[in-house]
Amino acid sequence: MNKDILSMVKGVATINIIIGIILTVIVQIIFKRYGLFVLVGMIIAILNFFINCVLSDFVTTKLQHISAIFYTANFILRVVLAAGIGYLIFEYNKYNLAAYLFGYTSHIVGLYIYTSFKNSHNNL
């Protein structure tokens, strides 16, 4: 795997784990029952991001001639993973799905923080 991509995945995952733990504690204190589902959402988002980066890097370096098929399969795999876990959570309790989605979409905050940090670090 490309050294820059690996560095990005590690950085974003680290930031997201910190954000996930903070959000989980805050949500658990305020809403009591939903902290775990916020954490599950964040973990699935991190896993989804990792799968996307690894498979995209693999496709662009090793399988360039059939990349469209693998990009489509990668997309379907990631959607099925996130939606399948969301469905299981919904079946358990429909209100937990909101906490899961909150955790899942909070992954974007980690991406923004990492990007801002890298941009400000490169401009120095």
Q: pTM, whole model, 2 decimals?
A: 0.87
The residues, any chain, with a CB within 8 Å of residue 19's CB and separated by 6 or more, are: 42, 106, 109, 110, 113
Q: 89, 96 in Cβ contact below 8 A?
A: yes
Is the pLDDT confidence value at 41 over 90?
Answer: yes
| Sequence-distant (≥ 6) Cβ neighbours of residue 28 within 8 angstroms | 34, 35, 36
Signed CA dihedral, 95, 17, 119, 54: sign only: negative
Confidence of residue 97 (pLDDT cuts 50, 70, 90): very high
Q: Which of 118, 4, 119, 103 is nearest to 46 (CA)?
A: 103
Taking only the tens place, the pLDDT of each residue in 3-24 is 888 888 999 999 999 999 999 9
